[in-house]
């Protein structure tokens, strides 16, 4: 990982040592919003109106948080409005970088070698972890936002007037329920796999492990009663869970020692994952080569040999047996 403190790069640090062995994720730094008319959003300053071709998305195919934004870009038909660059899956001492790898790209906006260069371009005195995704404003040459949960909500509605796509994955009538679902999934599943895999004490590991599988058991039961997490329609809660589930057996089960069960051992969660994978435009956002290379090669304190496992063989295209309502 890489950390910027007042614009100065600090490399090869790890943040769980001072937290009793528990991994603690830090908040994102840039929190502006794109809105239909450029008015201020829930946080940050205004001046970021929805315009075709103005915004650029930096992602890693390996990262589940960045993956959310690629899915929403596809679901909402934003491919022609918002351009994308993809970092190399290996994250070294200086953090995410641009380099040659199938499916990776150079930085098309400022020719940067490392993502941290965009952070200091946006704010020369910035402090925080250098993460993906990054939503970049080509016109103002700055970062709009680097918080995935907020970027997907911008993509969900800000550009509707330009695309005519009114599909709503955060409907007002379900927002309270979606928030109630998101909270334990984020804490115990999305971030829970990291809290398990990055733990540096046995107690921290076992606490995170138990919370992870207790929540997966609850979700398995919930999906046995209803089609999707919030009822009979797909919402952002489903997509936020999906990006962790699709990585579970290839990475988290073994590499992060989340090994009580595999995803394929949960009939409802596994069928749910296959259904969402088969949703139009979604399969193309899943790059298991990037996912496996990133985790097994980048985390050398967990996997010092850097060997990337060939398996498991997973058929996400197998019939899922769940009625699809689109």
Query: Radius of gyration of the chain from Cα atoms?
Result: 19
**Residue 2, strand partner residues:** 11
Q: Is 63 among the catalytic positions?
A: yes
Q: Which of 63, 119, 252, 277 is catalytic?
A: 63
Q: What secondary structure letter does DSSP report for 310?
A: -
Tell me which H or E stretch contains 210: helix 202-225
CA separation for the pair 24, 57 (Å, rounded): 26
The total of other beta-carbon atoms located within 10 Å of residue 168's CB is 16
Closest C-alpha to 219, from 276, 268, 176 = 268
Q: Is 194 among the catalytic positions?
A: yes
Q: Which of 55, 58, 169, 194 is catalytic?
A: 194
> What are the catalytic residues?
63, 194
């Amino acid at each position: 990982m890489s950390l910027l403190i007042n614009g100065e790069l600090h490399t090869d640090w790890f943040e769980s040592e001072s937290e009793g062995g528990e991994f603690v994720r830090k908040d994102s730094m840039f929190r502006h919003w794109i809105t239909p008319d450029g008015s201020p959003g829930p946080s940050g300053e205004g001046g970021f109106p929805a315009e075709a071709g103005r915004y650029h998305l930096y992602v890693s195919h390996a990262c589940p948080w960045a993956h959310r934004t690629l899915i929403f870009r596809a679901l909402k038909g934003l491919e022609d409005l918002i351009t994308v660059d993809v970092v190399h899956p290996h994250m070294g001492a200086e953090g995410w970088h641009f380099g040659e790898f199938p499916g990776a790209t150079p930085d098309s906006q400022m020719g940067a070698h490392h993502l941290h260069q965009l952070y200091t371009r946006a704010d020369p005195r910035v402090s925080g972890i250098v993460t993906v995704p990054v939503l970049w404003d080509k016109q103002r040459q700055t970062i709009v936002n680097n918080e995935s949960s907020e970027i997907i909500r911008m993509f969900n509605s800000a550009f509707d007037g330009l695309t005519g796509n009114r599909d709503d994955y955060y409907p007002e009538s379900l927002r309270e329920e979606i928030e109630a679902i998101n909270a334990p999934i984020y804490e115990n599943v999305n971030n829970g796999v990291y809290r398990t895999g990055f733990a540096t004490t046995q107690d921290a590991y076992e606490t995170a492990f138990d919370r992870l599988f207790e929540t997966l058991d609850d979700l398995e039961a919930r999906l046995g009663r209803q089609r999707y997490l919030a009822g009979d329609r797909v919402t952002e809660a489903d997509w936020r869970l999906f990006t962790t589930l699709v990585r579970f057996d290839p990475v988290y089960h073994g590499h992060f020692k989340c090994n009580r069960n595999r995803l394929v051992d949960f009939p409802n969660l596994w069928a749910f994952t296959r259904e969402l994978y088969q949703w139009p435009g979604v399969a193309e956002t899943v790059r298991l080569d990037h996912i496996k290379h990133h985790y097994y090669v980048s985390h050398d304190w967990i996997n010092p040999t850097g060997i990337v496992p060939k398996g498991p063989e997973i058929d996400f295209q197998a019939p899922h047996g769940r009625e699809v309502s689109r």
